[in-house]
Amino acid sequence: MNHTDGGTSGSRAPGQPRRRAAWWRTGVPAMALVTVAGLAAACGGGASGSAGRSNYDIGLAYARCMRTHGDLNWPDPNSQGQFLKTKSNSAAFQAPPSAYRDCQHLLPHGGQLTSAEQAAVTPLMLKFTACMRSHRILNFPDPIVNAQGAVYDPPKGLDPNSPQVKAARQACQKYERAASKYFPPG
């Protein structure tokens, strides 16, 4: 679901899975759209008890679990079962590692991307990379896609807050958004 948020902070606690597309490993980018159920729910797969449930219901159950396991401010999902993470509300997504472990069973495939989802995400993230490079961010790195999500390891000196990077990201966000539907929350 999550992020491309980018939504990963580089200080991921031990045991806390990296479950979203991450703009940078070491910063909270402008926005992450993290979708609860993605392709797994659409294909009828998922966690025990999630079959036949809507993305919203799955997301709501996950949010309630996160709140009861240590993150009292974890927000409810939107009507599509998505969590929107921005710089201004990123503090609401600060659950302890134990909450992620205790609640991941509520997510399709335990919050992991299936090989089919990875296969769907990879070309979208590569298109995002190519788009960034076409917008003069020539040293933008290739993504790393695996069962935990997608991550970019930016080279030193690449400032995600520079006007040039922000403009390129804005122009390329359609690929981030398309990939984000496959990422679980977190």
At 86-103, the pLDDT tens digits run 667 777 888 888 998 899
Q: What is the dihedral of CA 21, 25, 30, 32, to 10 degrees?
A: 20
Residue 186 CA to residue 8 CA, distance in Å, equals: 9
Which among 111, 99, 92 is positioned nearest to 35, based on CA atoms?
111
Q: What is the dihedral of CA 89, 92, 95, 99, to 10 degrees?
A: -120
* Mean pLDDT across the chain: 73
Summarize the confidence of residues 47-63 as an average pLDDT: 77
Q: In what order do the strands lie in the sheet with 149-151?
A: 21-22, 149-151, 144-146
Taken in order 84, 86, 89, 90, the sign of the CA dihedral is: positive
Summarize the confidence of residues 61-72 as an average pLDDT: 93
**Could you tell me if 18 and 35 are in contact, meaning their C-beta atoms sit under 8 angstroms apart?**
no
Q: Which residue has the higher pLDDT, 143 or 180?
A: 143
Which of 4-13, 142-151, 170-179 has the highest mean predicted lDDT (pLDDT)? 170-179
Is the per-residue pLDDT at 25 higher than 50? no
